[in-house]
Structure 1
Amino acid sequence: MQVWAVSYDPPTFTEDLYQKGLLLVDEASSTRIKRFYRREDACRGLIARLLPRLLLKERGVASNMMSFAATEFGKPYITTPGINPPIAYNLSHDNGLIVMAFANGKAHPPAYSIGVDVMKVHRPRRDSYRSFVDTFHEQLTPLEQNLLSPEVPESEGLRRFFWMWTMKEAYTKALGLGLGFDFSRVEFDVIGNIVRVDGQEPKGWKFHRFEVTEAGELYVGVVAEFLEDDFETLVVPETDPKPWFKSFTAAAILERAIQELTQSG
């Protein structure tokens, strides 16, 4: 399993780079990207579509041979023939960070074996810490609610909350499920580092926790990877350094995409 993290810095993401990048994606993707009202959303959408293409290019796939599809819930996956082993990937973005997690999709169909989520640790200015957490009361288990009790300092409580939420998101994204999944079924004990689904530890999963500081802001994220049914579920705590984690700037990724994806081979 590997993660590519891309930081979005608007001043370096020039109009010329943006327009050249649009030429590297299919017409339908380009049309969807252009529909974004805010340019930063369009740029993040463009990066999200270029990252899996760069991944395939690393594996020796010609640009004109790359193909993708989406599940009924809209999760994209690779349909390019002849990739052995198959590649499973998933994307997430929040504010100034875009991440892509990928791994060999052997144990399960590639569309369903990996999920990633990343979020900036902060609360909306209009909310107090307590009102913010209480908004999600019904989607947290009693144990999670207790770990976010008023006795917990706000800074630690926010970190705990976003660890819980990104875990829930990553797990359901790996399953390929839509927004109808009841998040209260997924419990993340951030102190014991234990994941439970419907009160039981799910078999076959490996969860990687990671933190990123970008432009002075803290982000937390989780990768959920399905391995084998008989694999004892493991939550890998945040470590540093992370050999499976690579960081890039959006401008650098776009320049690389322009160079590599315009080549015929």
Structure 2
Amino acid sequence: MQVWAVTYDQSEIPEQLFQSSLLLVDPSAQARIKRYYHREDACRTLIGRLMPRILLKERGVERDAMAFGATDAGKPYITTKGLDPPLAYNVTHDQGVVAMAFGNGHLGPPAYTIGVDVMKVHIPPRTTFLSFVDSVGSQLTAREHDTLLVDVAEDEALRRFFWIWTMKEAYTKALGLGLGFDFCRIEYDAVSDTLTIDGQIPKGWQFVKFQLTHDGALYQGVAARLVGGHGTEISNISQQRLSHYSAACFVKRAIKELK
């Protein structure tokens, strides 16, 4: 499993570059992107649409042959014919980062194989850490509460929280369930680096944790993938499997490769 991360700054994508890259996605995606009121939302969505297309181009697929579908819950997946092995991917974004996890999707329908989540490590202004945790307390287990509220520095507790939350998000996104899954069924101990679902270690899953900085802020993310087998692997992603691009460079690459 690999992860691409694109860091976004609105000033990086001038109007001409935006309009040129917009033509690289299908008409329905163009219409959706144009409806966004805020330019940053439009640019993030456009980058998220370009990512799997560049991935397919790397696999030798021409733009006209690229095909995508979506689950009933709205999760997009690749339906391009002739891919062997099939490709699975998932895209997410938060604030100034757009991330895509991808890999072999041979163990099941590609839409239900990979999930990814990334979040900026911060709490809202004029909010204490305790009130922040309380606001989502119903989605945390007792053990997760304990690892957050023990006598540790607030910065460390905050990092633990976002590892917990992105782990839960990545797993449910891989399942294609999103908000339809009770987060309390998932328990991630950020201290011992262990994960259970309904009290049991899930079988056949790989989780990779990654982090990066953008504009002085730390972002943490987790990618989850169904790989088969009897155990679960949790690790930090290697440098070779995390590719980091600026938005301008990524969009220019898309125009060059997909035109």
2:150, 2:194 → 1: CA distance? 22
Identity among equivalent positions (%) equals 56
Quote the residue 2:175 is aligned against.
Answer: 175
Quote the residue 2:120 is aligned against.
Answer: 120
One-letter amino acid of the structure 2 residue matched with residue 152 of structure 1: V
Residue 107 of structure 1 and its aligned partner are, at CA, apart by 1.2
2:129, 2:256 → 1: CA distance? 46
1:76 partnered with 2:76: yes
Check whether the contact 2:164–2:188 (CA below 8 A) recurs between aligned residues. yes
Is 42-51 or 148-157 further displaced after alignment?
Answer: 148-157
Secondary structure of the corresponding residue to residue 19 of structure 1: helix
Quote the residue 1:232 is aligned against.
Answer: 231
Is 158-167 or 176-185 further displaced after alignment?
Answer: 176-185
Runs of 4+ in 1 over 4 A off after TM superposition: none
Quote the residue 1:11 is aligned against.
Answer: 11
Q: TM-score, normalised by structure 1?
A: 0.95
CA deviation map 1:52-90 (0-9, x unaligned): 000000101010010100011111000000011100000
One-letter amino acid of the structure 1 residue matched with residue 142 of structure 2: P
Check whether the contact 1:65–1:80 (CA below 8 A) recurs between aligned residues. yes
Q: TM-score, normalised by structure 2?
A: 0.98
Secondary structure of the corresponding residue to residue 206 of structure 1: strand
Q: How many correspondences in the alignment?
A: 259
Q: Match for 1:248 among 245, 250, 259?
A: 245
Residue 150 of structure 1 and its aligned partner are, at CA, apart by 5.5
2:45, 2:6 → 1: CA distance? 12
One-letter amino acid of the structure 2 residue matched with residue 242 of structure 1: Q
1:82, 1:94 → 2: CA distance? 33
In structure 1, the gaps of 5 or more residues are none
In structure 2, the gaps of 5 or more residues are none
Residue 113 of structure 1 and its aligned partner are, at CA, apart by 0.6
RMSD over aligned CA atoms reads 1.0
1:157, 1:180 → 2: CA distance? 27
Check whether the contact 1:130–1:150 (CA below 8 A) recurs between aligned residues. no
Secondary structure of the corresponding residue to residue 179 of structure 1: helix
Secondary structure of the corresponding residue to residue 192 of structure 1: coil
Check whether the contact 1:13–1:250 (CA below 8 A) recurs between aligned residues. yes
Check whether the contact 2:169–2:178 (CA below 8 A) recurs between aligned residues. no
Residue 126 of structure 1 and its aligned partner are, at CA, apart by 2.8
